[in-house]
């Protein structure tokens, strides 16, 4: 095949990485063992796992949940699972991801690994050290793995980057037909991480890959570029700041209620949760909500409080895929529920 193909080569033989190891040195040794060398314009993708191991970022696994919370800046969504709570959070390292990127796979013994606190700095260090060792001006991507909001499975993405145009911004340019590509900015650093994962693979003990053929994305040795942090949306641009359940609870001021389970469960259970959320949304004078069959019975000390409580219940029911029909009862309000289509 001619043209300029992109080549992606997994670096085998790096072996187990320990605290204090020189990742750049291990990469260069692995390249030599494969009779390869680094060229100017190459891109090296390295799993965050080896960066974290070399930096000694391991914690005993008995504290995993606590570690996840410590590594989280903000809860985005959570669900109860049979073994605990699964959380999507804004990680201290930058991205929104499950469990703040705290990882128990491919680690020895009862420890978990945390992400490098500044992944772009880790990528810069690696880039500079590779230059010292080989003289080559390369791009570096520190990769990690994450799920996506609306797609199953995980893909690798750029957690950190140095020496790379992370975003190939086509805004203001035109396509082959002369049309304005006003909304197109390709997140090439993430695409590089994804391409590298096709040859790395979790089970194979291949924590790094060399990509050749992307020299047009690699910056001069004096420029490290904006880094992968620039690919994380800021709050103003984030239309999915909370999951839909979490958004409704937050709007009610009932953020502290235990997360719902992954599978929503039978209607009485969901009614109970809606009642709990409605009552957690701030004090209601004389407020009470009881589940009676397919109904919720609401009481409060005064009409104003009863109106507010009723509105809270209706909103909380929506987050349980239920709609309520409000009727006045002898001493309060009765809300009959029907299932909403999903």
From candidates 66, 132, 304, 339, binder to its own copies by CB under 8 A: 304
Here the tokens at position 88 are 């999507």
Q: Which is nearer to its own copies, 72 or 145 (CB)?
A: 145
Task: Give the Cβ contact number of residue 88 at 10 Å.
Answer: 23
Range in contact with its own copies (rule: CB under 8 A) among 1-9, 19-27, 120-128, 289-297? 1-9
User: 4-33: which residues touch its own copies (CB under 8 A)?
Assistant: 4-10, 12
CA distance 95 to 3: 36
State in angstroms the smallest separation of the CB of 272 from its own copies: 18
- 318 is a contact residue toward its own copies (CB under 8 A): yes
- Three-state secondary-structure class, residue 94: coil
Rg of the chain over all Cα atoms, to the nearest angstrom: 26
Q: Which is nearer to its own copies, 128 or 272 (CB)?
A: 272
Q: Which is nearer to its own copies, 21 or 168 (CB)?
A: 168
DSSP 272: H
Here the tokens at position 203 are 């089970």
DSSP 242: S
Q: Which is nearer to its own copies, 19 or 198 (CB)?
A: 198
Q: Which is nearer to its own copies, 128 or 202 (CB)?
A: 202
CA distance 138 to 135: 9
Helix axes 244-252, 267-280, angle to 10 degrees: 40
State in angstroms the smallest separation of the CB of 316 from its own copies: 8
Comparing CA positions, the residue from 41, 94, 53 lying closest to residue 72 is 94
User: 66-85: which residues touch its own copies (CB under 8 A)?
Assistant: 77, 79
User: 174-213: which residues touch its own copies (CB under 8 A)?
Assistant: 174-177, 179, 181, 183-188, 190-192, 194-195, 197-199, 201-205, 210, 212-213
From candidates 51, 136, 298, 306, binder to its own copies by CB under 8 A: 306
In Å, the largest CA–CA distance within the chain is 85
- 2 is a contact residue toward its own copies (CB under 8 A): yes
Q: Which residues contact 138 (CB under 8 A, 6 or more apart)?
A: 38, 39, 40, 41, 42, 43, 44, 127, 130, 131, 163, 218
From candidates 108, 266, 330, 331, binder to its own copies by CB under 8 A: 108
Range in contact with its own copies (rule: CB under 8 A) among 19-27, 64-72, 115-123, 262-270? 262-270
From candidates 50, 57, 67, 88, binder to its own copies by CB under 8 A: 88
């Amino acid at each position: 095949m001619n043209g300029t193909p992109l080549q992606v080569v997994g670096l085998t033989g790096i072996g187990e990485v320990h605290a204090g190891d020189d990742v750049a040195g291990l990469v260069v040794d692995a390249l030599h063992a494969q009779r390869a060398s680094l060229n100017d314009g190459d891109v090296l993708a390295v799993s965050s796992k080896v960066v974290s191991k070399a930096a000694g970022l391991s914690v005993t696994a008995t504290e995993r949940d606590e570690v996840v919370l410590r590594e989280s800046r903000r809860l985005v969504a959570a669900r109860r699972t049979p073994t605990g709570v699964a959380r999507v959070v804004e990680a201290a390292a930058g991205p929104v991801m499950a469990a703040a990127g705290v990882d128990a796979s491919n680690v020895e013994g009862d420890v978990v690994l945390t992400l490098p606190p500044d992944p772009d700095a880790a990528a810069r260090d690696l880039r500079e050290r590779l230059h010292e060792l080989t003289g080559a001006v390369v791009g570096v991507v520190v990769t990690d793995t994450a799920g996506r909001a609306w797609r199953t499975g995980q893909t690798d993405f750029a957690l950190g980057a140095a020496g790379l145009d992370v975003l190939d911004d086509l805004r203001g340019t035109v396509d082959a037909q002369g049309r304005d590509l006003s909304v197109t900015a390709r997140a090439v650093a993430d695409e590089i991480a994804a391409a590298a994962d096709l040859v790395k693979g979790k089970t194979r003990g291949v924590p790094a890959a060399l990509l050749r053929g992307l020299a047009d994305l690699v910056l001069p040795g004096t420029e490290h570029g904006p880094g992968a942090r620039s690919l994380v949306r800021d709050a103003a641009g984030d239309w999915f700041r909370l999951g839909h359940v979490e958004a409704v609870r937050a709007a009610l001021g009932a953020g502290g209620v235990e997360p719902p389970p992954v599978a929503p469960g039978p209607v009485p259970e969901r009614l109970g949760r809606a009642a709990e959320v409605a009552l957690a949304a701030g004090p209601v004078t004389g407020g009470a909500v009881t589940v009676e069959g397919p109904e919720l019975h609401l009481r409060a000390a005064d009409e104003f409080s009863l109106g507010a409580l009723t509105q809270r219940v209706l909103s909380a029911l929506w987050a349980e895929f239920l709609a309520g029909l409000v009727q006045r009862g002898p001493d309060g309000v009765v809300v009959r529920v029907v299932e909403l289509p999903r």
